[in-house]
Amino acid sequence: MSEAAELEFLLGQRGTSHELGAWVIGLAFGREGRSLHAGLGDGTVRVAQVSAPQDWLSVEAHKGAVLSLCADGQDGAITGGDDGRVMRIAPDGTATELAKFGSKWVEHVVAHESGIRAASVAKAVHVLDAKGGLLKSLAHPSTVGGIAFDAKGKRVAASHYNGASLWFVNAKEDKPRLLDWKGSHAAIAIHPEGGHVVTAMQEMSLHGWRLQDGQHMRMSGYPSKTHSLSFTNKGKWLATSGAEAVVLWPFFGGGPMGKAPTELAGGDGVMCTQVACHPQHEMVAAGFEDGLVLLADINTGRVLPVAPPGQGGVSALAWNPAGSHLAFGTESGFVGILDLSAR
């Protein structure tokens, strides 16, 4: 990007940055918006207050590495680690063990604002209540590649080899709806209105199911694997990583079947690694393999540069629930926090 030097990056004007020293695996603002949590490859979780984004405290959360991190139900964050533990990290950095599953890796964690949480360990998804009690353990035919709650927290979907399983969290008898599709499925997302499930596949394509009639949706053409999926607020668009642009699939007007995706912010020949849709507006934040971070307005295609390349491939992105702050993290441990609120 020869013109990069001439561009004004938002990070310089409205942001603060910090070196955390290890691969940023996940970022999450607390749902109440007070704190920002970063899970790292060295097993620590770093916590900063949004009001003082330059001060980070370090919490020894896991013995090996943090494998996944997400916002907890009310505030703070939860993490899964390779020491088999699920931890809760409060906004002030207090760490509490919620569950321990032997020596197996806790590869994925998700939480819903109702307080319910789910953690995947090998072939099982363990559902925990707000107090950390184990509600149920759901078994799958192979190792779980990703998990997601629906917007209401009533169903949890887990991807695996040859498809995905959709479970009702409160069912008396646990019997999943099996969504079949040959191949290995990893990242997973449920449409905000609950009607579609989409997975990212080992075969460098996406697969989706329309739940109402079981209609399959094939979304292909990616030059690499998609690791990051994000629906816009109302579910009009699905933003995805894995191409040399932000690829957005239309979930309206009969799409995505038979529709071409919209591509934004392409042209540099650099792979998009992370996407995160704004919690209210039709705007997507995207991170690239060279460290570039940008914001793109989906309807106008207008792009705002956030951070220049050079600080390591972008490995995590998060919005606060109000949509006023954006955080990004990279493979080399660099984090940036931007205050985008009106001044």
Partner 1 sequence: MSDQIPVTVLTGYLGAGKTTLLNRILTENHGKKFAVVINEFGELGVDNDLVVDADEEVFEMNNGCICCTVRGDLIRILSSLMKRREKFDGIIVETTGLADPAPVAQTFFVDEDVKRATRLDAIVTVVDAKHLLARLDDTKEAEEQIAFADLILLNKMDLVSEAEAVEVERRIRAINPMVELIRSTKSDVPITSVIGRDAFNLERILAREPEFLSGEDHHEHDSEVNSVAFEVSRPIDPEKFNTWMSDLLAAKGQDLLRTKGILAYPDEDRRFAFQAVHMIADGDYIGPWKADDARKSKIVFIGRDLNRPQLRRGFEACQVAQGTAA
Binding site for partner 1 (CB under 8 A): 22-23, 25, 41-42, 64-65, 67, 82, 103-105, 107, 122, 142-143, 145, 161, 182-184, 201-204, 224-225, 315, 331
Query: Smallest distance from the beta carbon of 42 to partner 1, in angstroms?
Result: 6
Cβ proximity to partner 1, 25 vs 48, nearer residue: 25
**Phi/psi of residue 178, each to 5°?**
-90, 125
* Other CB atoms within 10 A of residue 288 CB: 23
Give min distance, CB of 104 to partner 1, in A.
Answer: 7
Spatial CB neighbours of 12, under 8 Å, sequence gap ≥ 6: none
Q: Which residues contact 35 (CB under 8 A, 6 or more apart)?
A: 29, 47, 48, 49, 50, 75, 76, 91, 92
Minimum CB distance to partner 1 smaller for 67 or for 109: 67
Query: Cβ closer to partner 1: 120 or 232?
Result: 120
Quickly count: other Cβ atoms within 10 Å of residue 41's Cβ.
Answer: 18
What is the Cα 170 distance to its own chain's centre? 24
8-state DSSP, 327: E
Q: How far is the CB of 86 from partner 1 (least distance, A)?
A: 16
**What is the nearest approach in angstroms of partner 1 to the Cβ of residue 251?**
24
φ, ψ dihedrals at 136, nearest 5° = -165, 160
DSSP string across 263-313: EES--S---EEEEEE-SSSSEEEEEETTS-EEEEETTT--EEEEE-S-S--
* Rounded distance between C-alpha atoms, residue 229 and residue 185, angstroms: 13
Smallest gap from residue 18 Cβ to partner 1 (A): 18
Hey, what amino acid is at 212? Answer: Q
CB 212 within 8 A of CB 188: no
Closest by CA to 101, choosing from 118, 116, 114, is 118
Residue 141: CB minimum distance to partner 1, A: 10
Give the residue with the Cβ less far from partner 1, 165 or 315: 315
Shortest distance in whole angstroms from residue 233 CB to partner 1: 30
Question: Of 203 and 268, which has the nearer Cβ to partner 1?
Answer: 203
- Decide whether 145 or 305 has the Cβ nearer to partner 1: 145
Give CA–CA dist 227/145, Å, rounded: 11
Residue 153 in contact with residue 112, Cβ under 8 Å?
Answer: yes
The nearest distance, CB 341 to partner 1, in angstroms, is 32
Q: How far is the CB of 143 from partner 1 (least distance, A)?
A: 6
CA gap 313, 333 in Å, rounded: 10
Pick the closer one to partner 1 by CB: 23 or 251.
23
Of the pair 64, 133, the CB lying nearest partner 1 is at 64
Which CB atom, from 7 or from 178, has the smaller least distance to partner 1? 178
